[in-house]
Amino acid sequence: MRFDTRLVQVGQDPEPGSGDVVPALHLAATYDRTVQDPPRYFYARGENPTRDDLQRSLAALEGARFATVYASGQAAAMTALSLLRPGQRLLCGDDIYGGTYQLLQLLERYGIRVSFADLTDPAVLNRLDGGGDGGADVAMVWVESPSNPLLKVVDLAEIAERTHRIGALLVVDNTLASPALQQPLQWGADVTVYSTTKSIAGHLDVLGGALVYDDPELHEQFLAYRTTTGNMAGALDCFLVHRGLKTLGLRMARQVDNAQRMVEALRDEPSVVRTHYPGLATHPGHALAKRQMAGGGALFSFEYRHDPEKLMSRVRHFTSAVSLGGVRSLIECPALMTHRPIPREERLARGISDNLIRVSPGIEDPADLVADLIAAVRAGDR
């Protein structure tokens, strides 16, 4: 079964008895053991049929054995990070989601060390498995590709090989690409992390997170952590994520096309200093993106010569809000919004300037979006 067919049909078997053609919404907190044959459901913090349906779909989309879903992307990430023990080190890409940065700060409390590095830099990769102390205590490597907000592209196959050579686990936050454009397990990742809040649910109306992986031992550990801490996704949230998921292929195709058109229009504007989008041939990660992704992605950013706040107030078809991947176009300034938790000097050192603007195209008509954005950008010159 091909991807778009799996989107609509896996985990969506008609309900025995009623014949419901969509997964039923099971709200019960507990289950009667005596009517189950064999007993499968015990208590909804541990297991729930609506959650199972969504998990079956998400695993199938990447051809993986397992998926587990959580209350949010952060809850999913924390569950993956729970594998780390005191004294171990996490090596993390230096261009990551602001919330991930905050989550990693918590780890230091538990005696886990975190270092950041540009994982697109060959020298950094050479140090990782070069036999020096670069990778000695590294137990996990955390990658976001394409990254947020600079859209750097990391070579997933290469980093997987090097990570495994030192006996560490590779975790890839694939929220930006979604499984429609990139499947990290296929390139050797051990765990894919999603904020399903973004493209997977796609309608900006629910929060959720997921981990996707093949290893049964990881599955046991993740389930135990989730059931114990209670960070699982509730049934109604699972239902909404699953409903949104079915149109992922259609939405991503339109959003990638909208991104490409806007970037191409912006690139010739005198008040646009630089654009960041892997779909452009001039982007340093373009060739790599072509190899490991199906399309340039549905997010882009650019450096603007004028005041970002004024630009955000001038656009009419873009909502000035955080989040991404939804049907409605959003615009934001990372320095003021998503990446505000990162201290300014550190943020600037990572290339996230005060004038960077990030755009998450929705599924609106491309002509409306391009005309509106270009008019707002030009007005800054006056």
Ligand X SMILES: *Cc1c(COP(=O)(O)O)cnc(C)c1O
Q: Is 291 a catalytic residue?
A: no
* Active-site entry in 6, 56, 162, 198: 198
- Identity of the residue, 166 or 180, whose beta carbon is nearer to ligand X in the bound complex: 180
Q: Is there binding between residue 73 and ligand X (CB under 6 A)? A: yes
Q: Is 304 a catalytic residue?
A: no
CB of 127 to ligand X, least distance (A): 25
Check 173, 190, 237, 372 and give the catalytic one. Answer: 173
The answer to whether 222 contacts ligand X (rule: CB under 6 A) is no
Sort residue 11 into left (φ over 0), alpha (ψ -120 to 50) or beta. Answer: left
The C-alpha torsion from 114 through 143 and 308 to 336, rounded to 10°, is: -30
Is 97 a known active-site residue? yes
199 binds ligand X (CB under 6 A): no
Among residues 135 and 209, whose Cβ is nearest to ligand X? 209
Token output for 222: 């993740």
Q: Is 209 in the site for ligand X (CB under 6 A)?
A: yes
Q: In the complex, what is the shortest distance from the CB of residue 151 to ligand X, in angstroms, rounded to a whole number?
A: 12
For position 74 contacting ligand X by CB under 6 A, the verdict is: yes
- Beta pairing partners, 300: 359
Catalytic residue (choose from 53, 56, 97, 251): 97
Burial class (CB in 10 A: 0-12, 13-18, 19+), 259: buried
Number of residue whose CB is nearest ligand X:
73
- Looking up tokens 């904020």 gives 195
Phi, psi of 367 (to 5 degrees): -65, -40
DSSP string, 314-379: H-SSSEE-S--SSSS-EEE-TTTTTTTTS-HHHHHHTT--TTEEEEE--SS-HHHHHHHHHHHHHH
We find the least distance from the C-beta atom of residue 58 to ligand X, in angstroms, to be 14
55 interacts with ligand X by CB under 6 A: no
Do residues 370 and 265 touch, judged by C-beta distance below 8 A? yes
Q: Catalytic residue at 254?
A: no
Residue from 4, 41, 45, 328 carrying the catalytic annotation = 45
* Tokens coding 13: 């078997």
Is 100 a binder of ligand X (CB under 6 A)?
A: yes
- Using rule CB under 6 A, residue 226 touches ligand X: no
Q: Which of 173, 190, 237, 372 binds ligand X (CB under 6 A)?
A: 173
Q: Are the C-beta atoms of 361 and 258 separated by less than 8 Å? A: yes
295 counts as binding ligand X under rule CB under 6 A: no
Half-sphere exposure at residue 243, Cβ-oriented, CA atoms within 13 angstroms: 13
Give me the residues that bind ligand X (CB under 6 A), please.
Answer: 72-74, 97, 99-100, 144, 148, 173, 175-176, 195, 197-198, 207, 209, 324
Catalytic amino acids? 45, 97, 173, 198
